[in-house]
Amino acid sequence: MSAPFRIAPSILSADFSRLGEEVRAVVDAGAEWIHFDVMDNHYVPNLTIGPLVCEAIRPHIQAPIDVHLMVEPVDSLVPMFAKAGANIITFHPEASRHVDRTLAMIRDHGCQAGLVFNPATPLDYMAHVMDKLDVVLLMSVNPGFGGQSFIPETLNKLKAARARIDAWKEQTGKTILLEIDGGVKVDNIGAIAAAGADTFVAGSAIFGSKDYKGTIAAMKRAVEAAQAKRG
């Protein structure tokens, strides 16, 4: 059974010289997932971390590692991340020539699969692959950097994605998680939850705060209040 919602700190804003300690600290502070941003300086204008780093943090935590691939091409990295201990692998549909094949490949390697939608990418990419999706991730900033501001139009997009996912659940009984990534803070996470997100990535808001536990707890209170209102 999955919890009603998940907080997924993005290690992009962690202290990379102490990564093992940092992931343990946020999990101890109440985080459900660890969000792992992979950037290739090709699909996005920044360069971060790969499977070696995933493998290095894997023994430090039991929590699922949520690998967000901002790379092009995608396919060759899927088996490498699966082997390195990833639990969830998401990618941008524009970065794969064969979206259906890449989704199937992720599941074949024992991971949960998801598509990531940039702010201007229409949700239509999900239409014919719903049966291969475990997660839909909406970007609320343009990918490439932490610390950017939440793009408000994403709230409308979240509502539209929520409606598609709920209709799919109604039809098939299957759950698809709805994740949000970019500019998530204590003061806007309630509105984001009210729009339908159930999985919340937050980088700078958590790792930039002095008190991880206090920040994550404040986020959870805001999400719980919003979800109680949604019913």
Q: Which residues of this chain interact with ligand DX5, rule CB under 6 A?
A: 10, 12-13, 35, 37, 68, 141, 143-144, 146-148, 181-184, 201-205
Q: Which residue is nearest to Zn ion (CB)?
A: 68
- CA–chain centroid gap for 204, Å, is 14
Q: Is 181 in the site for Zn ion (CB under 5 A)?
A: yes
- 103 touches, from Zn ion, ligand DX5, none (C-beta below 5 to 8 Å by class): none
- Interface with Zn ion: number of residues (CB under 5 A): 3
Do 111 and 158 contact (CB within 8 A), yes or no?
A: no
Per-residue HEC secondary structure of 133-154 comes to CCEEEEECCCCCCCCCCCCCCH
Q: Which does 205 bind (CB under 5 to 8 A by kind): ligand DX5, Zn ion, none?
A: ligand DX5
Decide: 165 and 123 in contact? Cβ < 8 Å.
no
The answer to the question of residue 6 lying near Zn ion (CB under 5 A) is no
User: Which of 66, 134 has the CB closer to ligand DX5?
Assistant: 66
How far apart CA 221 and CA 95 sit, in angstroms, is 36
DSSP string, 39-79: EBSSSSS-B---HHHHHHHGGG--SPEEEEEE-SS-TTHHH
Residue closer to Zn ion by CB (options 68, 92) is: 68
Residue number, 46 or 168, with CB nearest to ligand DX5: 46
Q: At what angle do helices 19-28 and 212-230 cross, to 10 degrees?
A: 40
* Footprint of Zn ion on 50-109 (CB under 5 A): 68
CB of 225 to ligand DX5, least distance (A): 21
